[in-house]
Amino acid sequence: MAKAHAVHILVKTKDEAGKLKQKLAEGAKFADLARKHSVCPSGKKGGDLGEFGRGQMVPAFDKVVFGKPTLEVHGPVKTQFGWHLIKTLSRS
Protein backbone atom coordinates (compact mmCIF):
# COMPACT_ATOMS: atom_id res chain seq x y z
CA MET A 1 0.00 0.00 0.00
CA ALA A 2 1.21 3.51 -0.84
CA LYS A 3 2.26 5.58 2.15
CA ALA A 4 3.07 9.24 2.54
CA HIS A 5 4.39 11.63 5.18
CA ALA A 6 2.83 15.08 5.06
CA VAL A 7 2.46 18.34 6.95
CA HIS A 8 -0.45 20.71 6.64
CA ILE A 9 -1.96 23.94 7.89
CA LEU A 10 -5.74 23.97 8.38
CA VAL A 11 -7.61 27.28 8.51
CA LYS A 12 -11.26 28.32 8.25
CA THR A 13 -11.16 30.49 5.11
CA LYS A 14 -9.66 30.34 1.63
CA ASP A 15 -8.50 33.93 2.08
CA GLU A 16 -6.51 33.05 5.21
CA ALA A 17 -4.95 30.05 3.45
CA GLY A 18 -3.96 32.27 0.55
CA LYS A 19 -2.30 34.79 2.87
CA LEU A 20 -0.34 32.03 4.62
CA LYS A 21 0.76 30.58 1.27
CA GLN A 22 2.09 34.03 0.36
CA LYS A 23 4.05 34.17 3.64
CA LEU A 24 5.55 30.75 2.82
CA ALA A 25 6.55 32.05 -0.62
CA GLU A 26 8.28 34.95 1.15
CA GLY A 27 10.33 32.53 3.25
CA ALA A 28 8.26 31.89 6.38
CA LYS A 29 8.79 28.45 7.96
CA PHE A 30 5.92 26.00 7.43
CA ALA A 31 6.09 24.63 10.98
CA ASP A 32 6.03 28.12 12.51
CA LEU A 33 2.91 29.10 10.56
CA ALA A 34 1.24 25.78 11.40
CA ARG A 35 1.88 26.27 15.13
CA LYS A 36 0.51 29.80 15.03
CA HIS A 37 -2.47 29.47 12.65
CA SER A 38 -3.57 25.85 12.15
CA VAL A 39 -6.87 24.86 13.78
CA CYS A 40 -5.93 21.16 13.48
CA PRO A 41 -4.43 19.49 16.59
CA SER A 42 -1.39 18.65 14.40
CA GLY A 43 -0.58 22.37 14.41
CA LYS A 44 1.10 21.91 17.79
CA LYS A 45 3.58 19.60 16.02
CA GLY A 46 4.21 22.07 13.21
CA GLY A 47 1.42 20.54 11.14
CA ASP A 48 3.06 17.10 11.06
CA LEU A 49 0.56 14.32 10.29
CA GLY A 50 3.18 11.58 10.36
CA GLU A 51 3.00 8.70 7.90
CA PHE A 52 -0.34 7.44 6.62
CA GLY A 53 -1.70 5.22 3.88
CA ARG A 54 -3.73 6.07 0.80
CA GLY A 55 -7.41 6.30 1.75
CA GLN A 56 -6.81 7.25 5.39
CA MET A 57 -7.45 10.94 4.70
CA VAL A 58 -10.46 12.55 3.00
CA PRO A 59 -10.42 12.23 -0.84
CA ALA A 60 -9.45 15.84 -1.66
CA PHE A 61 -6.51 15.62 0.76
CA ASP A 62 -5.45 12.18 -0.54
CA LYS A 63 -5.51 13.44 -4.12
CA VAL A 64 -2.92 16.11 -3.33
CA VAL A 65 -0.70 13.96 -1.10
CA PHE A 66 -0.56 11.02 -3.51
CA GLY A 67 -0.87 12.91 -6.80
CA LYS A 68 1.08 16.18 -6.63
CA PRO A 69 4.86 16.75 -6.50
CA THR A 70 6.52 16.31 -3.10
CA LEU A 71 8.25 19.11 -1.17
CA GLU A 72 6.00 21.79 -2.66
CA VAL A 73 3.17 23.57 -0.87
CA HIS A 74 -0.20 22.84 -2.50
CA GLY A 75 -3.49 24.53 -1.88
CA PRO A 76 -5.66 26.04 -0.70
CA VAL A 77 -7.49 22.69 -0.77
CA LYS A 78 -11.07 22.60 0.56
CA THR A 79 -12.38 19.72 2.69
CA GLN A 80 -15.24 19.46 5.17
CA PHE A 81 -12.73 20.57 7.85
CA GLY A 82 -11.78 23.86 6.19
CA TRP A 83 -8.94 24.98 3.90
CA HIS A 84 -5.58 23.23 3.85
CA LEU A 85 -2.09 24.04 2.70
CA ILE A 86 -0.41 20.67 2.18
CA LYS A 87 3.23 19.71 1.78
CA THR A 88 4.09 16.06 1.14
CA LEU A 89 7.50 15.32 2.61
CA SER A 90 7.88 11.79 1.24
CA ARG A 91 5.93 9.09 -0.52
CA SER A 92 6.54 5.38 -0.99
| pLDDT tens across the length of the chain (92 residues) | 899 999 999 999 999 999 999 999 999 999 999 999 999 999 999 999 999 999 999 999 999 999 999 999 999 999 999 999 999 999 99
For residue 1, the model assigns a pLDDT of 86
CATH number at residue 24: 3.10.50.40
> Model's pTM, two decimal places?
0.96
Domain count, the chain: 1
Cα→Cα distances 92→2, 16, 25, 49, 50, Å: 6, 31, 27, 16, 13
Dist. CA 39–CA 31, nearest whole Å: 13
For residue 50, the model assigns a pLDDT of 98
Host domain of residue 55: 3-91
For 36, other C-beta atoms within 10 Å of its C-beta total 11
For residue 23, the model assigns a pLDDT of 98
